[in-house]
Amino acid sequence: MLKVIDSAVPVACWACSVAHNDSTLFCPHCSKIQPPPESDYFQVLGLQRGFQVDLDALEREFHRLSRKVHPDRFARADENERQWSLADTALLNDAYRTLKDPLFRTEYLLKLEGAEIGEEHAGKDRKGQSDPSRVPADLLEEVFELNMQLEEMRMARSTGEIDSVLENGLVLAKKKFESLLAAVDLDLRTEWKAWDTGDAAARKTSEKSMVALLDRRRYLRNLVRDVTETLGA
Amino acid sequence: MAEGRVVGIDLGTTNSLVAYMQGDTPVVIPGVDGSNLVPSVVALDPVAAGGGRPTVTVGNTARKALIETPERAIYSVKRLMGRGLEELENELKLFPFRLAEDMEAGEVPRIRLGEMHFTAPEISAYILRQLKRNAERFFGAPVTQAVITVPAYFNDAQRQATKDAGRMAGLEVLRLVNEPTAAALAYGLDRAKVGTIAVYDLGGGTFDISILKLRDGIFEVQSTNGDTHLGGDDIDNLLLAIALDEIHAEHGVDLRSHPSAVQALRKSAIDAKINLSSQAVARFDIELPNGDRYQREIPREVFEVLIEPVLERTVGPCKQAMADAGITPEQIDEVVLVGGSTRIPAVRRLVDSLFHLGERGKKPHIELNPDEVVALGAAVQADILAGASKTTEEMLLLDVTPLSLGIEALGGTVAKIIQRNSTIPASATEHFTTGVDGQTNVAIHVVQGERELAADCRSLARFDLRNIPPMSAGLPRIEVKFLIDADGILKVTAREQRSGQAAKIEVKPTYGLTDEQVESMILDSFDHAEDDFAKRLLIEARNEAETILTAVERAPRSPAWAQLTGEEQAAIAAARDRLQSVKLGDDAKTIRDATLALDQATRRFAELMMEAAVSSAITGKTMDTADEDLGEAVTAPHPMARAEFK
């Protein structure tokens, strides 16, 4: 988790030693590029914390900052400047990559706000059976049936059989779960708005809903992937 | 030193080029022979009579050696860059690379060239040094900084090997740029453009597809994909295999055991391939050692059926790149074709159908020479890095890493820490701890690739975190920061957080040379001496003049001389007299210009000689007689491509 410190804490510029605000990328005194600030991704890209982001403005700001800090601008600069340009740009790129993607952004902000969420990306979503203990209650029956169908389909495939009834059933199931996924995404958007405009209490409620929605989404996505893989095998 | 020019270099599988920004236009720097392309061929001259280290030649002169002394020449070395011994099997089957006999496991493979051994980066360094010299000759000033292009799909080791080669050649590599991205830069100098571009790059040995978004001078790569072992070489090998099989079956001659005949036949196969891009039929007509003739017509339709499997291999990467960028073919505004193989009509048809071009009334961009466009783009990037230019000050390239970076987790699976197509520089921070009380070392295995199991990915390096303060198991908290820099190369730093100690990391790259090895392979460091630079230029110019004059002197003895018209012979004589009169002057440039003029006057003569060389190699004349036939004159067109000067 990212350490957020008071950005008013002054630090000394490595080049001219004059103290400056930590969140700045360039020393206000000597204009030299500074080490990456201890800012969160929203601060890096000059945004208020929020789930809804103007993507066009985000891209423009990303481009504006890239022009200033990218290593291509420091190819012939001294070692220090090249090092900080590289580190600053890595932070900027990581921030932009996280904030432009709706899911990464949601997870990131939830974590920033202290919510406990499951692991979504970073390779931890290992392939394999979805964890049965996390089956959303309203889907128990359908998931049970789907797993049976998947098993049958795999058996049929391994013996070279073509069972078009089974296949049609799976195609239908896939469609259904895909529409459930779309519904989750809609609900997430509603919660985004609720959080962005709500007070502290509303935000807490919203965060809880989003954590649950993310869990559900992850589960559904794994199901859809399993079906797609079995059908395509 | 004063900051000199930054040049852009395309270090290609088949040909290499060097370019620079002339005002606001990128321009390829020709060699002294006037040719923009330096064939990526390196050869070792026969040992001099007095002994000593043999001379290394590069380019067109070396290409001659491919046929005459194939055991002393090497081409397509780019295929070996950054690859380990166990990965070479396929290459060795298809290409006449000869490994050193005393190779040890884990060593960077060394290739035999005559009586000497070279690693792939060393051979590439000779090519780079030739390009550096061509540029220095052109500017009359030292060149020490360069941008070098690499296939977008090159992995960490292949990139590092390329950087190593630059260092050995005396070049500071300011940036490695992906080839398709460079091509987009060359086309995108017109900064008003906004839109999505796909670059389809099918070169001699590699295939890349990149999708970029252009906005106000920012070139942002969205996704890239490819195959670092797919290209025109594969097509040549298909044609070659057919010819060899047919010659064996129909004439009872197995040319496979004659390396020089195979190389000569290979040249015919390449000619046939090139002809088939503009003609409906190509012909093989070759005299065999037993006096038979191998005559074969290859209609374009047959050729296209033959190469279809090769071209088909580019489809998957293109579809994956579009999926990763989250776009459909209809959303692609422009398609740029790069690489000599995109001249093949069947490739153009494939591209048309992949990106739905024809049906949308669009055509791919082929305005810039597909052999030169990457070098031109490298020159644009060199100009961006040099700063100080109005033309490129608003331009910026944001590229991505082509492959996911992961670490091996329990059970041999891969935990991805940086996803493919992440904009670089990109970083990831991971935390590690110990499993046993008092443990002071933690080993981390870093891999690159998309597969689920570490064993199926490409091993990048094993890191050993050492000197961890002894604590109970699970207590140490070691923070490891992985950073992919703007060249696409991984850097790692580590820190033990509870004790605040910087953990010592020992990096053992799975493939590649150590710093010390690279240092020991740096080619003649005297190249850096600036004070005698002008003197060196003059000496070189005089040597070159002498070489071509000696060659021209002998020319009338060759049978090819008689094939020239009287006018051609008179032009050669005039150029020769001019060079004779200026060669002892002190102006290197005047000598060079006169040398170049003589070289151009002898061009057709040289071609006639080259044809003679090819046919004598196939009919199996001995090297001695071939040498006599050729005389020294075959070097006439490119006497100055020599890499060594005494």
B632: confidence class by pLDDT, cuts 50, 70, 90: very low
Contact by Cβ (8 Å): A33, A81: yes
pTM of the model: 0.81
B301: confidence class by pLDDT, cuts 50, 70, 90: very high
DSSP line for A35-93: PPPS--HHHHTT--S-S---HHHHHHHHHHHHHHH-GGGGTTS-HHHHHHHHHHHHHHH
CA angle B327, B330, B333 (to 5 degrees): 90
Give the pLDDT score at B491. 86
Position A108 in a domain: no
- Is B45 marked active-site? no
Do residues A149 and A80 both lie within one domain? Answer: no
- B630 has pLDDT over 50: no
- The ranges of chain B annotated as CATH 1.20.1270.10 are 529-635
Domain-terminating residue out of A40, A66, A100: A100
- Express as a percent the part of chain A with pLDDT over 90: 34
> Which DSSP state fits B620?
T
Tell me, letter by letter, the H, E, C secondary structure of A91-102.
Answer: HHHHHHHHHHCH
Residues of A with CB under 8 A from a CB of B: 59, 63, 66-67, 70-73, 75-76, 86-87, 89-91, 93-94, 96-97, 121-124, 126-127
Best-predicted range by mean pLDDT (A173-187, B189-203, B301-315): B301-315
- B622 has pLDDT over 90: no
Q: Which candidate from B174, B385, B423 shows the least CB-CB separation from A93?
A: B423
Position A63 in a domain: yes
What is the ipTM, given to two decimal places? 0.82
Position A39 in a domain: yes
Mean pLDDT of B221-242: 91
B505: confidence class by pLDDT, cuts 50, 70, 90: low
Position A43 in a domain: yes
B480: confidence class by pLDDT, cuts 50, 70, 90: confident
Prior bond of B425 cis (ω within 30°): yes
Do residues A92 and A178 both lie within one domain? Answer: no
Position A112 in a domain: no
Select the more confidently predicted residue: A26 or A93: A93
* Parent domain of A40: 10-100
> Which DSSP state fits A26?
B
- Is B33 marked active-site? no
Give the pLDDT score at A109. 92
CA–CA distance, B575 with B601 (Å, rounded to integer): 7
Do residues A222 and A129 both lie within one domain? Answer: yes
| C-alpha B498: how far from chain center | 47
User: With an 8 Å Cβ cutoff, is B419 touching chain A?
Assistant: yes
- Is B179 marked active-site? yes
Tell me whether residues A93 and B483 touch, CB distance under 8 A.
Answer: no
DSSP line for B21-88: EETTEEEEPP-TTS-S-EESEEEEPPPPTT-SSPPEEETHHHHHHHHH-GGGEEE-GGGGTT--GGG-
Contact by Cβ (8 Å): B240, B265: yes
Give the pLDDT score at A82. 93
CA–CA distance, B72 with B413 (Å, rounded to integer): 44
Select the more confidently predicted residue: B631 or A44: A44
CA angle B86, B87, B88 (to 5 degrees): 95
* Structure tokens, A219: 């589960």
Place of tokens 């260092």: B167
Select the more confidently predicted residue: B529 or B230: B230
Q: Quick one: B542 exposed, middle or buried, by C-beta within 10 A (0-12, 13-18, 19+)?
A: middle
Listed range (A91-95, B26-30, B190-194, B383-387) with the worst mean pLDDT: B190-194
Give the pLDDT score at B284. 84
Q: Which pairing describes strands B426-432 and B172-178: parallel, antiparallel, or unpaired?
A: unpaired
CATH (domain of A73): 1.10.287.110
Per-residue model confidence as pLDDT tens digits over A23-54: 788 888 888 898 888 889 999 998 989 999 99
| C-alpha B325: how far from chain center | 28
Do residues A138 and A52 both lie within one domain? Answer: no
Give the pLDDT score at B32. 79
Buried b (16+ CB within 10 A) or exposed e, B434-456: beeeebeebebbbbbbeebebee
Per-residue model confidence as pLDDT tens digits over B323-340: 999 999 999 999 999 999
Contact by Cβ (8 Å): A41, A99: yes
Contact by Cβ (8 Å): B239, B273: yes
Mean pLDDT of B340-362: 94
Contacting residues of A for B427, CB less than 8 Å apart: 90-91, 94
Do residues A144 and A218 both lie within one domain? Answer: yes
Do residues A200 and A137 both lie within one domain? Answer: yes
Give the pLDDT score at A144. 82
Question: How many Å is the Cα radius of gyration of chain A?
Answer: 24
Do residues A88 and A129 both lie within one domain? Answer: no
Q: Domain count for chain A, please give it.
A: 2
CA–CA distance, B358 with B356 (Å, rounded to integer): 6
Report chain A's mean pLDDT, rounded to a whole number. Answer: 83
Where helices occur in chain A by DSSP H, the ranges are 41-44, 55-69, 79-100, 102-112, 140-158, 164-197, 200-232
- A123 has pLDDT over 50: no
Position A2 in a domain: no
- B625 has pLDDT over 50: no
- The ranges of chain B annotated as CATH 3.30.420.40 are 6-230+313-399
Listed range (B108-112, B462-466, B563-567) with the worst mean pLDDT: B462-466
Q: Enter the CATH code of domain B6-230+313-399.
A: 3.30.420.40
Per-residue model confidence as pLDDT tens digits over A168-187: 888 888 888 888 889 999 99
Contact by Cβ (8 Å): A147, A169: no
Contact by Cβ (8 Å): B597, B580: no
Give the pLDDT score at A233. 59
B91: confidence class by pLDDT, cuts 50, 70, 90: confident
Q: Which candidate from A63, A93, A122 shows the least CB-CB separation from B415?
A: A122
Position A178 in a domain: yes
Domain B405-527 is found in CATH 3.40.50.970: no
Give the pLDDT score at B411. 79
Amino acid letter for position B286: I
For residue A92, CA distances in Å to A1, A84, B119 come to: 17, 12, 38
Mean pLDDT of A16-24: 81
Amino acid letter for position B534: A
- B416 has pLDDT over 70: yes
- B631 has pLDDT over 80: no
- B96 has pLDDT over 80: no
CB atoms within 10 A of CB B414: 26
Give the pLDDT score at B527. 43
- The ranges of chain B annotated as CATH 2.60.34.10 are 405-527
Tell me whether residues A72 and B486 touch, CB distance under 8 A.
Answer: yes
Mean pLDDT of A214-226: 86
User: With an 8 Å Cβ cutoff, is B47 touching chain A?
Assistant: no
Dmax over CA atoms of chain B, in Å, equals 92
- B48 has pLDDT over 80: no
Per-residue model confidence as pLDDT tens digits over A191-210: 999 899 989 888 889 998 99
Do residues A96 and A142 both lie within one domain? Answer: no
Q: Which candidate from B417, B452, B486 shows the least CB-CB separation from A71?
A: B486
- B171 has pLDDT over 70: yes
- B507 has pLDDT over 90: no
Give the pLDDT score at B50. 58
Q: Enter the CATH code of domain B232-311.
A: 3.90.640.10
Considering the candidates B156, B164, B201, B527, report the single residue annotated as catalytic: B201
Give the pLDDT score at B185. 92
Q: Which candidate from A73, A87, A123 shows the least CB-CB separation from B416?
A: A123
At the top level of CATH, which class does the domain B529-635 belong to? mainly alpha
Do residues A80 and A130 both lie within one domain? Answer: no
Mean pLDDT of B587-603: 87
Contacting residues of B for A72, CB less than 8 Å apart: 175, 381, 384-385, 396-397, 486
Position A1 in a domain: no
Do residues A129 and A217 both lie within one domain? Answer: yes
* Structure tokens, B192: 């008003």
Do residues A155 and A223 both lie within one domain? Answer: yes
Nearest CA in chain A to B5: A76
Report chain B's mean pLDDT, rounded to a whole number. Answer: 84
